[in-house]
């Protein structure tokens, strides 16, 4: 039974990805066939081929922008809004997580890089259920489980930083919310796991790994693998600093 599940279990989610991508590609196909193709056919080859390339590129972006709407719509229809959970990775409750992950990964790997950190990306995350305050900067596509992530006003997530509201522990799947307080900063390539709370004005330095269920108090700076509280010691000139673990 387990072998059959391992072999065929991913198929429904592959079908879901195909459906979401296919609907979105429909917008691209329509744009190309009905808007771009007729005038292109009348051009000489010298103009037709480069302009066809531009038309195809424009159609691809039509696909991507449509996908930013289609994925959240399917996520809502199929019950992909997540709730905290700890249990078997093979259950009806976990099924909602697989739906959410499938649609999130489809968007991330096929288009999201092109619109990060623009308002288009934030709109997509909001539609997927993420709570986002004002003046938030999300400069990363490595955001998993957005429906259980809460970003207060002024949060900054650095380039390629990972924020995920899940982890595995003792053979169980654990889904736990992540909350970043007002003005919190997650540095370049840092990793924040499920159940983490980062207080207002706190900083996680670049390349750090914050373990699941960690609580970082307001105003503190954390760094390292695993991340711990540090103090930044500046030299006399104030031009450089080193992190000292506390």
DSSP sequence for 33-48 = IIIIHHHHHTS-HHHH
CA dihedral angle for residue 99, residue 100, residue 104, residue 107, rounded to 10 degrees: 50
| Tens of pLDDT, residue by residue, the chain (246 residues) | 445 445 556 788 999 999 999 999 999 999 999 999 999 988 898 999 999 999 999 999 999 999 999 999 999 999 888 899 999 888 888 889 999 999 999 999 999 999 999 999 999 999 999 999 999 999 999 999 999 999 999 999 999 999 999 999 888 999 999 999 999 999 999 999 999 999 999 999 999 999 999 999 999 999 999 999 998 766 544 454 556 666
Helix 45-77 crosses helix 92-110 at what angle (to 10 degrees)?
160
In three-state secondary structure terms, 214 is: coil
CB 154 within 8 A of CB 134: yes
In three-state secondary structure terms, 235 is: coil
Rounded to the nearest 5°, which phi and psi values hold at 231?
-115, 135
CB 189 within 8 A of CB 159: yes
Domain range annotation of the chain: 2-245
Length of the chain measured in residues = 246
Predicted pLDDT of residue 11: 83
Burial of 95 (0-12, 13-18, 19+ CB in 10 A): middle
This prediction has a pTM of 0.88
CB 187 within 8 A of CB 158: yes
Bridge partner residues of 167 (DSSP): 174
Distance, in Å, from the CA atom of 1 to the CA atom of 90, rounded to the nearest integer, reads 12
Strand order, beta sheet including 166-169? 85-87, 172-175, 166-169
Per the omega criterion (within 30 degrees of 0), is the bond before 5 cis? Answer: no
The count of other CB atoms within 10 Å of the CB of residue 178 is 26
Distance, in Å, from the CA atom of 209 to the CA atom of 227, rounded to the nearest integer, reads 5
Q: Does domain 2-245 have CATH number 3.30.2130.30?
A: no
């Amino acid at each position: 039974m387990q072998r059959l599940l391992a072999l065929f279990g991913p198929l429904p989610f592959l079908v879901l990805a195909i459906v979401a991508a296919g609907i979105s590609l429909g917008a691209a196909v329509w744009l190309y066939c009905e808007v771009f193709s007729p005038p292109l056919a009348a051009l000489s080859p010298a103009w037709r081929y480069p302009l066809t390339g531009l038309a195809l590129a424009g159609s691809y972006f039509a696909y991507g922008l449509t996908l930013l709407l289609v994925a959240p719509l399917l996520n809502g229809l199929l019950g992909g809004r997540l709730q905290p959970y700890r249990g078997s990775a093979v259950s009806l409750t976990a099924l909602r997580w697989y739906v959410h992950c499938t649609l999130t990964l489809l968007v991330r790997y096929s288009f999201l890089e092109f619109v990060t950190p623009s308002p288009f990306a934030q709109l997509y995350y909001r539609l997927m259920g993420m709570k986002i305050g004002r003046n938030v900067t999300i400069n990363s596509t490595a955001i998993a489980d957005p429906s259980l992530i809460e970003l207060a006003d002024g949060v900054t997530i650095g380039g390629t930083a990972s924020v995920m509201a899940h982890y595995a522990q003792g053979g169980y799947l654990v889904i736990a919310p992540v909350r970043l307080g007002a003005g919190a900063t997650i540095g370049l390539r840092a990793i924040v796991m499920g159940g983490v709370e980062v207080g207002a004005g706190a900083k996680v330095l670049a390349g750090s790994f914050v373990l699941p269920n960690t609580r970082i108090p307001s105003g503190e700076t954390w760094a390292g693998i695993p991340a711990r509280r540090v103090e930044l010691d500046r030299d006399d000139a104030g031009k450089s600093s080193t992190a000292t673990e506390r």
